[in-house]
Structure 1
Amino acid sequence: MCLSIPSKIKSINSEMNTCIVDTMGVERSASLDLIDQEVVVGDYVLIHIGFAMNKIDEEDALESLKVYKEIIDKMDELDRKEAILEADKSY
């Protein structure tokens, strides 16, 4: 199963049609090739296998991030490391 964590756009490279996103403190590059909405720095998007797929409302994004943080806070260290490794496989 793949969960998409809301990611905030930090910068956009129009020439390459990519952006840098912050996903709970981790910055990654994502392609904008598949998103059918205009996005700007500060918008929240959902990323799947390195592609921004949907732009989402900031209020919804912040609520989702709050729930993810609660889940992470309840995980033990080993579970956290396994979750991070699993998430990295999807990129």
Structure 2
Amino acid sequence: MCLGIPGEIVEIKAGHEDLAIVDVLGVRRAINIGLLEADRIGVGDWVLVHVGFAMSKIDEAEAAATLEMLKGLGQAYTDELQALAESDIT
């Protein structure tokens, strides 16, 4: 199962404006934010991450609610966090 997981943008990669570092519950990974060019994305923004891409910009309340709901999925959620921790698109 692949889930969309909320992550907070903590850095926009210098020289690679389509790449950002997100933090998902302490796991930091580079993701592609190029699909969100129409939305102004910056440090502190929350995005929904799916297979290494930011799919949409969301607000912090929606991110918190989504993370709470995902925790209820048990193993599928744990597997997705593990996959995120093991991924690297840089």
Same fold (TM over 0.5): yes
Verify: 1:7 aligned to 2:3, yes or no. Answer: no
Gaps of 5+ in 1: none
Q: Which amino acid aligns with 2:83?
A: A
Residue identity (%): 40
> Cα–Cα, structure 1 residues 13 and 55, in superposed 2: closer, same or farther, change >3 Å?
same
Unmatched runs of 5 consecutive residues or more in structure 2? none
In the TM superposition, what whole-angstrom CA distance separates every residue of 1:28-67 from its partner, at most 9, and x where no partner exists? 0011211131111111101122111110111110111122
What's 1:69 paired with? 71
Report runs of 4+ in structure 1 exceeding 6 Å deviation: none
Q: 1:55 to 1:85 in 2, by over 3 A?
A: closer
Question: TM-score normalized by structure 2?
Answer: 0.73
Bigger RCO (CA 8 Å, 6+ sep)? 2
The structure number with the bigger radius of gyration is 1
Write out per-residue CA displacement over residues 60-82 of structure 1, whole angstroms, 9 at most, x where no aligned residue. Answer: 1011112233444xx5xxx94xx
Structure 1 length normalisation: TM-score?
0.73
The count of residues paired between Structure 1 and Structure 2 equals 84
